[in-house]
Amino acid sequence: MANLNSQLFTPESGAVDPSSVPYKTLYTGAKMPVVGLGTFGSDRYNGEAVAQAVKDAISLGYRHIDCAAVYGNEDLIGQSLHDIQVQGLKREDLWITSKLWNDMHDEQNVIAACEKSLRDLQLDYLDLYLIHWPFPNFHAPGVDVSSRDPHAKPYIHENYMKTWRQLEKLVERGLVKHIGTSNMTIPKLKLLLRDAAIKPACNEMELHPHFQQSELFQFVIDSGMVAIGFSPIGSPARPDRDRTEDDTVDIEDPVIIEIAQRHGIHPAVVCVKWAVQRGQVPIPFSTRRSSYLGNLQAVVTDPLTADEMQAIAKIDKNCRLIKGQVFLWKDNQTWEDLWDLNGEITPP
């Protein structure tokens, strides 16, 4: 982004001047606004509702939108992005991320997949393109967590690098400004950092007060990447298939509720403030104007105190919500096998 201008800033009550929103500087010098709007409708919100939220959120001061081919709504979001640019917003003042879905990892598919996202989003380039998951395993949208791809594979670094080389080509061709990863682990990232010609600029990872992933978070920062935090509010509206009995609820945590009451804000907004002050870039989802506006206002008003930050640091419950069961590659595995918990890549 050349600059974070105030063009199309609607000075209506509560809107946030985009030039006042803090940003993260990537290793290229590019600036990413510290809060983005998520666009996964969780099977609850249709593409039209999400696209309308994108358009309205931009008019309220958002400049960072987190998209993905698999969310099935990039064409509708593209219309919103087009409309807003026709009204005068410059492309370089938006930060748009998209992601390569698992069924398009093969070398011959990557560039075509990115071009499809670009066509749908009506853009000439993406600011960031991520490999959505490090597994090439396909599952149809909406299937139960017990569903498995009969051709599912484990993480094979050689194959991941073949995919990565295609992402590097996207940068060389000017279709993408930065490339990055999502749902990675430290051992996988170490191999990628060793072998990449173009370094990952960001890692998108689940991050919320009950799942702080301190070790991976620190590794990402120390490696010169930006940590983008998904499900920053604890994904309270996530699909039923992504819920288990042991899951905890961040916005019902007494520590979060007490801080929210003290500041006179919704517990969700406390999660957004905590995320930004900790140093990650949250991408909260909402189609409700009061919610997405509150999540943007969160980053320019009334910061949490050091004591409040410390109190939240202590409520980590190591509670992963998006476990990824559908990506397992053989029988008798548990979701933990996807996450290299003993510090080594789980063997095939």
Ligand X SMILES: NC(=O)c1ccc[n+]([C@@H]2O[C@H](COP(=O)([O-])OP(=O)(O)OC[C@H]3O[C@@H](n4cnc5c(N)ncnc54)[C@H](OP(=O)(O)O)[C@@H]3O)[C@@H](O)[C@H]2O)c1
Catalytic site residues? Answer: 71
Which residue carries 């498995």 as its tokens? Answer: 148
Shortest distance, position 95 Cβ to ligand X, whole Å:
13
Considering the rule CB under 6 A, would residue 220 count as an interface residue with ligand X? no
Considering the rule CB under 6 A, would residue 296 count as an interface residue with ligand X? no
Q: Judge whether 296 and 62 are in contact, CB under 8 Å.
A: yes
Long-range contacts of 152-158 (CB under 8 A, 24+ apart): 152/327, 152/328, 152/329, 152/330, 153/329, 153/348, 154/329, 154/346, 154/347, 154/348, 155/188, 155/345, 155/346, 156/348, 157/188, 157/191, 157/195, 157/345
Q: For the segment 11-30, give every residue that binds ligand X (CB under 6 A).
A: none
Tokens of 80: 């919103």
Shortest distance, position 15 Cβ to ligand X, whole Å:
16
Tokens of 209: 């007060």
Phi/psi zone of residue 78: left (φ > 0), alpha (ψ -120 to 50 degrees), beta? Answer: alpha
Shortest distance, position 259 Cβ to ligand X, whole Å:
14
Considering the rule CB under 6 A, would residue 346 count as an interface residue with ligand X? no
- Please state, in angstroms and rounded to a whole number, the distance separating the CA atoms of residues 67 and 60: 19
Binding residue (CB under 6 A) for ligand X from 178, 238, 278, 320: 238
By CB under 6 A, the count of residues binding ligand X is 30
Binding residue (CB under 6 A) for ligand X from 38, 61, 134, 154: 38
- Please state, in angstroms and rounded to a whole number, the distance separating the CA atoms of residues 130 and 150: 25
Judged by beta carbon, residue 170 or residue 283, the one nearer ligand X is 283
Shortest distance, position 88 Cβ to ligand X, whole Å:
26
* Stretch in the footprint of ligand X (CB under 6 A) among 14-22, 226-234, 310-318, 333-341: 226-234
- Please state, in angstroms and rounded to a whole number, the distance separating the CA atoms of residues 28 and 200: 11
Binding residue (CB under 6 A) for ligand X from 212, 235, 280, 346: 235
* Stretch in the footprint of ligand X (CB under 6 A) among 80-88, 158-166, 173-181, 229-237: 229-237
Considering the rule CB under 6 A, would residue 74 count as an interface residue with ligand X? no
Binding residue (CB under 6 A) for ligand X from 4, 203, 232, 259: 232
Judged by beta carbon, residue 42 or residue 223, the one nearer ligand X is 42
DSSP character string of 20-50: GS-EEEPTTS-EEES--EE---TTTS-HHHH
Q: For the segment 198-217, give every residue that binds ligand X (CB under 6 A).
A: 204
Considering the rule CB under 6 A, would residue 182 count as an interface residue with ligand X? yes
Shortest distance, position 73 Cβ to ligand X, whole Å:
10
Q: Judge whether 205 and 217 are in contact, CB under 8 Å.
A: yes
Considering the rule CB under 6 A, would residue 294 count as an interface residue with ligand X? yes
Q: Judge whether 104 and 154 are in contact, CB under 8 Å.
A: no
Phi/psi zone of residue 87: left (φ > 0), alpha (ψ -120 to 50 degrees), beta? Answer: alpha
Q: For the segment 252-291, give every residue that binds ligand X (CB under 6 A).
A: 266, 268-269, 283-286, 288, 291
Q: Which residues bind ligand X (CB under 6 A)?
A: 38-40, 42, 66, 132, 182-183, 204, 230-238, 266, 268-269, 283-286, 288, 291, 294-295, 322
